[in-house]
Structure 1
Amino acid sequence: MTRFLWLIFLLLITGTATAQTAPERYPLIPYPASLTPATGTFTITKATQLALPKEGKHFEKEAEQLQALLRNGVGAPLKTTKKLVANGIELRYDASIMAPEGYRLTITPQQMTLAAKEPAGMFRAVQTVRQLLPATIEKAGKSAAPMTLPAVQIEDQPAYAWRGMHLDVSRHFFDVAYIKKYMDLLALYKFNKLHLHLTDDQGWRLEIKKYPKLTEVGAWRTFNNQDSACIKKSKDNPDFALEPKHLRQRNGQTEYGGFYTQDEMRGIIAYATARHIEVIPEIDMPGHMMAAIRAYPFLTCNGKNDWGKLFSTPICPCNESTYEFVENVLKEVAALFPSPYVHIGADEVDKASWNTTACTELMQKEGIKDVNGLQSYFVRRVERFLQSKGKKMIGWDDMLEGGIDPSATVMYWRSWVKDAPAKAIRNGNPLIMTPVSTLYFDNLPDKNSLGKVYDFDVVPAGVDAAQSQKALLGAQANLWTEQVPSENRADYMVMPRMTALAEVVWTNKKQYASYLTRLRQHYPRLALLNVHYRVPDLAGFSEESVFTDKTSLQVEKPLDNLIIRYTTDGSIPTDASPVLPAALPITQPTTVKLVAFTPEGLRGDTYAIRYKQQAYAAPVSAKAPAPGLTATYFTGYFKKSALMQQAKANGSTTVTSVQVPKQAEADQFGVQFRGYLDVPETGIYTFYLTCDDGGTLRLADRIVVDNDGLHSAIEKTGQVALTKGLHPIALDFVEGGGGYMLLLKYSKDGSEPQQVPANWLKH
C-alpha cells in the first residue's frame, strides 16, 4: 500500500487528523480548537436552501451575513426555509454549547450545519465557513463556481475572552470607512475587541458636546515633527504620504486632522456590534493631553503646555476644575459607548509641573507621600467616577507605580518591567497582555516578525496557571501611528501579523509550519478585500554580500506567484523593470535592488543587495587567548554606537557569549564587545545581527553589519570572507530606553543560522 493510500485508510478508520496533515484543505486562521477531517465536499448552488428553524430565530442577523457572502457566489440570495432539506444549510440553536463564542460546524457532502447557543458563536461559525469558501466570495461579480466546501467536523471556542486590536487615531487620523474596513478584518480573524486611542498630544478625535473646542481646536494641527518625518519618507515610499482628505486650509495655513461626531461614532459602534466586536474608547489622562490643553489652558497646574524631558505637560490633579472637566468628558463617553470598559491611559506622565502650592496642600490633606501617589489619587478618583456610571477602568501598567485598586484592569505594555504582570495579578487586577517587545505593530516588521508574534506566550513569566486562569483576560496588539500616516501603511503594519496573533489568542496551540501553509491561501483573499498587506520576505541573500571571484544571486520566493523585478543602476524597480532570472551572475562589485510584485499588483519591500569583492582576510596571531570577549559598558543615551567613543566607561567584564552583562543593564546604556573570533574553516560567512535598539559588527577590520540607530528589534545581515583562524571582532550595541534585545547568529554556505559557539570567542 502506498503512503498516500495508507494515510487515507487511517483517516477513514480514525476520522481524525492534526492540523499539520490538512492545512491546505482547511486553511483556517485561527485554527479551530478541534477539527476532524472528512471525505468529500459540499457544493452550494442556486438550488441550495438556507434553513433557520424557529428556535434559531435570534440568528437572523447572522443568517443575513451568510446570505450576503453566498450571494457573491451564486448571484442571488438562497431560498430560506424553517426545516433543513437535502443539499441545504442550517443555522441551528444548540443549548449544549456553553462557551459564549463557541460553535459547531458540520459539513457533509449532503448538507452543512452551523450550531451555536449565542449569536456571537454563530457569527464565528459564519467566519469559518467564509474562510473555507473560495476567496472570490469576497467580491460580487467574481465567479466562485463551483462553490464547494470540504467535509469536516469542527468543535470550536476561544482560548481567551479578550482578543483585541488597537488603533491610534490621534497621531494620524483614520476615517469612518477605514475603521469599518479594519473591523472587517478583525471579524474575519475572530477578534472581539477594538481599542480606539481617541485622544493624545497630537489630536482630540471625539466630539464632546460640553466642550466643543476639543475638536474645533484640538482636532487640528499644523504639521508637526511626525508629519515632517513621514513627508520625507514619502519621497521613496508613497505609503508615507499624508492623505489629502485629512488636510484643510485655514487662515493661510495647511492643517492636518479630523474627528468623529458622536453620531459617526454611534455608526461605528453599531457596525462593530453586528460583528460581535466591542469598541473600547481610550481618553488618555492625566498625561498625553496637549490637544485638550491647547483648547482649554486652565487644565494645567502652571499654565504651560509644552514638553518636559520626555513627556508633555499633564493636566493638574490638584484643582477641582480639572475633575469637573474630566467628569463631564467621561460622562459623555460613558453614555456613548456600550462597552463596560473605558481606558484612561495613565501612562508616561511628566509630574514636574505638579510642584505647586495647590498640589502640596492636597498631598498634605490626603496623606500622599510623593508625586506617584498623587497620580494614584487622580486615577482612583477617576475610577470611582467611572464606576458610578457603570463602567470599569483600564489603564496602562504605569499606573501600578503609585498603587491602584484591585478593580482596575491593567494593560501590560512595558516589556522591560518584567514583574509588572505578576504584581498586577497579586494585587487582584484583571490583566491584558500587550507587550511592546512583541505586540506593538508599529515596530517595523522583518522576516522574523510573524514567528515572533506566533511564539508569543499569553501567560506571562512568574504567573502560574491557576492565577492566569482567574485574572488573565487575554491579549491585544497595538498600532501606534506616529509613523503610520495612511491607510495603506496601516494595512502593511498589521497584516499579516494580525493573523498570527489571532491564532495565539483563539487556539493557543503552536503549529507554526501549518500556520504558514494556511496563511499562503489568505493572501488572495486579502487582495480582494483591498488590504495593502506586507508581501512576504524574499530570502536567499544578504544585504551586504561578498564574493572572492564570482557568484550568482538566486532568490527564494515565499509565494510561487510573485514576480521579482530588479535594477542595477541604483533606481528602485518598477513594474516595468526586468524580471529577475533564476540565477543572476555577479562578477564585479554592484548593487542589485529587488522588488516583488503580486499578481494583483501589490508591491513588496525594496531590497538593496550590495556586492563587494573581497580576498579572504588573513588570520592574526595572539599568544594564548583566553575564552570569551571583553565587554566594556557605558551608562548614557547614545543615538549611535560611535558616540560611546566620547563617553567614560563604567567598567568591563568578560562574557562567554554575545549578550549584555548584568553589570551593564540600565535604562539607557551601551556595550562594546572586543576580542577575536576563532573561525574553524575558511569560507564566506553570513552574520545576522538583531538589535533593539542599535548595533554594528566589524570582523577582520571590515564592517559586516550596520544595524545602528534607535529602533525596534530588527535583524540585518552581512557577509565577510575569512580564512581559518583568529580574526578581530568589534561589536557595539546601544539601548536608548524601554527594553533591549541583542542577538548574533551566523551561517556558512547557506546553512541554517545558528548561535555563534562559545568556543569561537577569544580575548
Structure 2
Amino acid sequence: MPKLLSLLGVCLLLTSAVHAQTESARYPLIPYPTSLTPAAGQFTVNAQTVLRSPDRRFGNEAEQLQQLMVHGLGRRLPTTGNAPTIQLQYDATLTAPEAYALTITPKQVVLRAKTAAGMFRAVQTVRQLLPPTSERRTSASLTLPAVQIQDQPTYAWRGMHLDVSRHFFSLDYLRTYIDRLALYKFNTFHLHLTDDQGWRIEIKKYPKLTSEGAWRTFNNQDSVVMKRAKSEPDFELPRQFIRQRGGKTEYGGYYTQAQLRELIAYAAARHIQIVPEIDMPGHLSAAIQAYSFLSCTGQPGMGKTFSVPVCPCNEPTYTFMQNVLDEVIALFPSQYVHIGADEVEKTTWAQSAACQALMKEKGIKTVEELQSYFVHRMGDYIQSKGKKLLVWDDALEGGLKPSATVMYWRSWVKDAPRKAAENGNSIVMTPVSALYFDSPPGKQSVEQVYRVPVVPAGVKPEQAHLVKGAQANLWTEYIATENRADYMVMPRMVALSEAIWTARDLYPSFQQRLLAHYDRMEQLNIHYRLPDLTGFAEENVFVDQATLSIKAPIPSYTLRYTTDGSLPQPTAPVLPDGFVVTKPQTIKVAAFTASGLRGDVYTLRYQQQSYAQPVTNAATGQPGLTARFFKKYFQETKRMTGLTPDSTFVTPNVAIPAAVGAPSFGVQFRGYLNVPETGVYMFFYTCDDGGVLRIANRLVVDNDGNHFPIEKSGQVALAAGQHPIEADFIEGGGGFTLKLTYSVNGSAPAPVPDRWFSH
C-alpha cells in the first residue's frame, strides 16, 4: 500500500507539472495577473468582429486596441454590427489604481476598468494573449484563449531609466523604449538628461548648454566602445550623432523642447510618466564647460573622485539652476523632478573662501551639510512649483527633508533605506547589486532581478508603505547603440515587471512564460539577449577524448561554431550533437535565431590532461578549510599574496560566515578536496566580486576582478583521493555572492559536500 501511495503521489506531481506548463503556454502573461481562472475554448477575432467602446473616457485605449488589430489583421475592426464583440466597459467597482478585469469567452471579450490607465493595462494583456506573430504579420483571423482575469499592480512605482547623456539616443528609440515599457505594464520612464558627458535638453534661456554642452570630442569611454566595435558591431558609434566643427570631430546631440513635448504626449497616451533628471550639484561638467561661473574655481575639471560640481555658495548658481528648472517644470507634467544629488566631489567647496563664509553665516559645519543646504533650497523651489523632489540616496548625508523621495541605489550602504524610512522619506528601490542593467548580464541575472527584495531589510513593517516600488537603471558609459541597449535591458526588464506588478515568487512558471516572449521580442525587432547556453565549461580538459553536446534553449535556435578563432557568423557550420574533441583546441559557439540574431559567443578551450594523483601526506584530517581573512579592498585576488591576514578561521566549505561584516574584504580558502572517484570534474564558481579556483595545483576557474555576480566554470582531471585546493575570493563592496558547485562525468551540478573538505 505505501508503494502504491508513493506511485500515486509521483503521478499527481507529474500531472501538476504538466498542467502548469500547459497553462503557462496557453496564458503566457508577464507580469502574471493577480487572479487568473482558465476557461475552455477560444474567441476568434476576424474582420467582422465588432469593437464597442461607448464610454468616451476610453477613446485612447480603444484606438490602441484598434492598432493591435491593424498589425494582426491588416485592418481596423468595425464599431457597429451584429457579429461577436470586443467591449470596453466602465466599472466603478474596480477602485484600485490601474485595476482591470478581462473576460474572454468563445462568444465575446469584455475589458472592464474604472480608469483609463486600468483599461490600457487590460489592452496590453489582450496583446500578450494574441499570437506573437500578430505584432507584424497579418492573418485572416486571430485567437484569444478563454479566461477570467482580475488584476491590479502591487506597487505604484514601476520604472525604467535611460541615460542619454553618456551616449545619445534618437527620439525614435525613446518611443520604442516607451512601447516596451507599456507592453510590460511599467508606468514610469526616468530620463537622465544631463551629466558630465553631455547636456541633452534645450534650455532657451541658456542656449550654450546645447550648442556647446551637448557635444564633445571623443572621450575615454568612447575609445573603449570604438575598440570593441572592431569585433562587435553593437558597439559602433552612431554616425548620425557625429559632426565636424572648427576642424574637430564632435559627438553628441540634444532634444528640442518641441521634440520632448511630443515624446511626453506619446508616453502619456500609454499611461507612462516621464520623470526628468537634471543632475546637480555634481555631474555638471557639460554645463560648467558652457558657463564657467557655475563652479567655485571658475572652470570645469576633475576632483579626487568625481567632476568639479557647481558652487553652492554663489547666488548666481541658484538663479541659473532655478531658471533651468523653470523650463523643465513647464515642459514635463510629471509630479516628480529628479535632481540627482549623488557623487558630489566637495573638495573645491572646502577650499572656497565663499563657501567658508557661507558656512560660518549659516552655521553649517561640514561640506555634507553644505550639500544638504543646496538640496534643501532646490527642493523648496521645486515644491513651490507644485512638484515633488526626487534624489539618489547620497542626499541623505547631511540631512534631507521628509518631503523628498529617495532612490536607493548604493547597495553597500545597507542602512540607507532604514534611515530614509525613519526620516519619513518615500523610497524607490533601484539597488546597484541587481537593478543596474549596465552591469553585464549572466546566467543568474534574470533570476536575480526577479527576486529583488522590493521592501529592503531594515525597513519596519509599519514603514513598508513608504516603499513606492522599484526601477532598473541603464547607464550608458559603454552602451552607444540601440542594439546594445536592447541586449542589456531585455529580458531583465521583463523579470522586473513581474517583480513589481505581481510581487509573488512564480519563477518556475515565469521561466516557462518567458519562452513565448522571446518569440514576441523577435517579432518586435528587439535585439534581446538570447537565453544562456548551458551544460559545458569555458575551460575543459580530457584524458583521451571529450564529447561536446549542447542543447539549444529554444528549438528554433541554431547552434553554430568555429575553431579558427573567429566569431561565429550565420554562415558558420552547425554544431553537431556529440561533437568529439580529440586534440587541444578552442571552439567558439553561439546560438542564432531564425532572423539571424546572434546570442552570446562562448569560448570553450580544451586541453589534454592526465589524472592528477592524490597527495599522500594530505593533512591531519580535520574537517573544513582554513580561511585567511583580509579586511581590505582588492581589485584582484593576487593582491592578497604575501599579506598578513587580519584573522584566520575554519569554515566547513567555500563560504563566507554570516559574521563577516566588512564592506570590502578578501579571503583565501586553503586545504584539501577528497574526491571519491576518478573522473573529469567540472566546477562552477559564482563570484561577486571575483574569485580564482585552483585544484591539484591546476588553474580550474578564473573569475577574477571586480564585477557583478558571474558564474564561470572549468574542468580538472582528478584521480580518487585528496588534492590541494585553493579558492580565493574578493568582495569590493555592495554585497557579495559566492557559490561553488560541481559536476563529474556529465552529472547534474550539485553543491560540493562539506565532507570532501579537510585541512
Report the equivalent of 1:508: 503
Residue 113 (structure 1) aligned to one of 101, 110, 113: 110
Secondary structure at the counterpart of residue 610 of structure 2? coil
Counterpart contact for 1:20–1:511, Cα < 8 Å: no
Report the equivalent of 2:30: 29
In terms of mean alpha carbon deviation, does 361-370 or 559-568 score higher?
361-370
Measured against aligned partners, the alpha-carbon deviations of 1:561-581 in whole angstroms (never above 9, x if no partner) come to 101111112221111111111
Report the equivalent of 1:64: 63
Residue 711 (structure 1) aligned to one of 695, 704, 707: 707
Give the partner amino acid of 1:74. L
Report the equivalent of 1:592: 587
Residue 419 (structure 2) aligned to one of 378, 398, 423: 423
- Say whether residues 1:733 and 2:729 are aligned partners: yes
- Say whether residues 1:473 and 2:468 are aligned partners: yes
Counterpart contact for 1:544–1:718, Cα < 8 Å: yes
The separation in 1 between residues aligned to 2:340 and 2:128, in whole angstroms, is 36
Measured against aligned partners, the alpha-carbon deviations of 1:111-137 in whole angstroms (never above 9, x if no partner) come to 111111111011111111111111222
Give the partner amino acid of 1:26. Y
Report the equivalent of 2:493: 498
The structural deviation recorded for 1:738 is 4.0
Give structure 1 regions of 4+ aligned residues with deviation exceeding 6 angstroms: none
- Say whether residues 1:344 and 2:339 are aligned partners: yes
The structural deviation recorded for 1:504 is 0.8
The separation in 2 between residues aligned to 1:305 and 1:462, in whole angstroms, is 39
Measured against aligned partners, the alpha-carbon deviations of 1:29-88 in whole angstroms (never above 9, x if no partner) come to 1111111111111111111111122xx11101111111111122332211113xx95411
The separation in 1 between residues aligned to 2:431 and 2:139, in whole angstroms, is 41
In terms of mean alpha carbon deviation, does 268-277 or 86-95 score higher?
86-95
The structural deviation recorded for 1:18 is 8.8
- Say whether residues 1:97 and 2:128 are aligned partners: no
The separation in 1 between residues aligned to 2:168 and 2:40, in whole angstroms, is 49
Residue 439 (structure 2) aligned to one of 443, 448, 454: 443
In terms of mean alpha carbon deviation, does 456-465 or 153-162 score higher?
456-465
Report the equivalent of 2:119: 122
Give the partner amino acid of 1:66. L
In terms of mean alpha carbon deviation, does 221-230 or 691-700 score higher?
691-700
Report the equivalent of 1:47: 48
Give the partner amino acid of 1:91. L
Q: Give the 5 Å matches for 1:103-252.
A: 103-139=100-136, 142-252=137-247
Give the partner amino acid of 1:305. P
The separation in 2 between residues aligned to 1:202 and 1:600, in whole angstroms, is 35
Give the partner amino acid of 1:63. A
Counterpart contact for 2:191–2:275, Cα < 8 Å: yes
Counterpart contact for 1:162–1:476, Cα < 8 Å: yes
The separation in 2 between residues aligned to 1:759 and 1:317, in whole angstroms, is 61
Counterpart contact for 1:104–1:116, Cα < 8 Å: yes
Report the equivalent of 1:462: 458
* TM-score (ref. length: structure 1): 0.94
The structural deviation recorded for 1:408 is 0.6
The separation in 1 between residues aligned to 2:619 and 2:158, in whole angstroms, is 58
Pairwise CA RMSD: 2.1
Give the partner amino acid of 1:70. M
The separation in 2 between residues aligned to 1:664 and 1:50, in whole angstroms, is 62
* Unaligned residue ranges in structure 1 (runs of 5+): 12-16
Residue 253 (structure 1) aligned to one of 231, 244, 248: 248
Q: Give the 5 Å matches for 1:578-657.
A: 578-620=573-615, 621-634=617-630, 636-645=632-641, 649-657=645-653
The separation in 2 between residues aligned to 1:133 and 1:504, in whole angstroms, is 23
The structural deviation recorded for 1:664 is 7.1
Counterpart contact for 1:49–1:79, Cα < 8 Å: yes
Measured against aligned partners, the alpha-carbon deviations of 1:392-421 in whole angstroms (never above 9, x if no partner) come to 011111111211111110111111111211
The separation in 2 between residues aligned to 1:97 and 1:563, in whole angstroms, is 47
Secondary structure at the counterpart of residue 649 of structure 2? strand
Counterpart contact for 2:21–2:512, Cα < 8 Å: no
Counterpart contact for 2:47–2:141, Cα < 8 Å: no
Report the equivalent of 1:76: 75
> Cα distance 1:217–1:374, how it changes in 2: closer, same or farther (>3 A)?
same
The structural deviation recorded for 1:662 is 7.5
Q: Give the 5 Å matches for 1:292-691.
A: 292-355=287-350, 356-468=352-464, 470-620=465-615, 621-634=617-630, 636-645=632-641, 649-660=645-656, 666-691=662-687
Give the partner amino acid of 2:221. Q
The structural deviation recorded for 1:666 is 4.4
In terms of mean alpha carbon deviation, does 630-639 or 258-267 score higher?
630-639
> Cα distance 1:124–1:663, how it changes in 2: closer, same or farther (>3 A)?
closer
Give the partner amino acid of 2:286. A
Report the equivalent of 2:4: none
The structural deviation recorded for 1:636 is 4.9
The separation in 2 between residues aligned to 1:316 and 1:744, in whole angstroms, is 50
Q: Give the 5 Å matches for 1:14-25.
A: 22-25=23-26
Counterpart contact for 2:635–2:732, Cα < 8 Å: yes
The separation in 1 between residues aligned to 2:94 and 2:745, in whole angstroms, is 54
Counterpart contact for 1:134–1:144, Cα < 8 Å: no
> Cα distance 1:382–1:102, how it changes in 2: closer, same or farther (>3 A)?
same
The structural deviation recorded for 1:660 is 4.1
Counterpart contact for 2:438–2:488, Cα < 8 Å: yes
The separation in 2 between residues aligned to 1:426 and 1:751, in whole angstroms, is 50
Measured against aligned partners, the alpha-carbon deviations of 1:255-299 in whole angstroms (never above 9, x if no partner) come to 111111111110110000000000001111111111111111111
The separation in 2 between residues aligned to 1:519 and 1:662, in whole angstroms, is 34
Give the partner amino acid of 1:27. P
* Unaligned residue ranges in structure 2 (runs of 5+): 1-7
The separation in 1 between residues aligned to 2:735 and 2:295, in whole angstroms, is 31
- Say whether residues 1:746 and 2:745 are aligned partners: no
The separation in 1 between residues aligned to 2:280 and 2:20, in whole angstroms, is 45
Counterpart contact for 1:631–1:661, Cα < 8 Å: no
Counterpart contact for 1:172–1:485, Cα < 8 Å: yes
Give the partner amino acid of 1:177. D
The separation in 2 between residues aligned to 1:238 and 1:218, in whole angstroms, is 28
Give the partner amino acid of 1:198. L
The separation in 2 between residues aligned to 1:441 and 1:240, in whole angstroms, is 16
Counterpart contact for 1:343–1:395, Cα < 8 Å: yes
The structural deviation recorded for 1:661 is 5.8
Counterpart contact for 1:669–1:734, Cα < 8 Å: yes
The structural deviation recorded for 1:663 is 8.4
The separation in 2 between residues aligned to 1:738 and 1:322, in whole angstroms, is 34
Counterpart contact for 1:407–1:429, Cα < 8 Å: yes
The structural deviation recorded for 1:625 is 3.8
The separation in 1 between residues aligned to 2:589 and 2:573, in whole angstroms, is 10
Give the partner amino acid of 1:271. Y
* TM-score (ref. length: structure 2): 0.95
Give the partner amino acid of 1:78. L
The separation in 2 between residues aligned to 1:111 and 1:519, in whole angstroms, is 27
Counterpart contact for 2:562–2:588, Cα < 8 Å: yes
The separation in 1 between residues aligned to 2:367 and 2:753, in whole angstroms, is 48
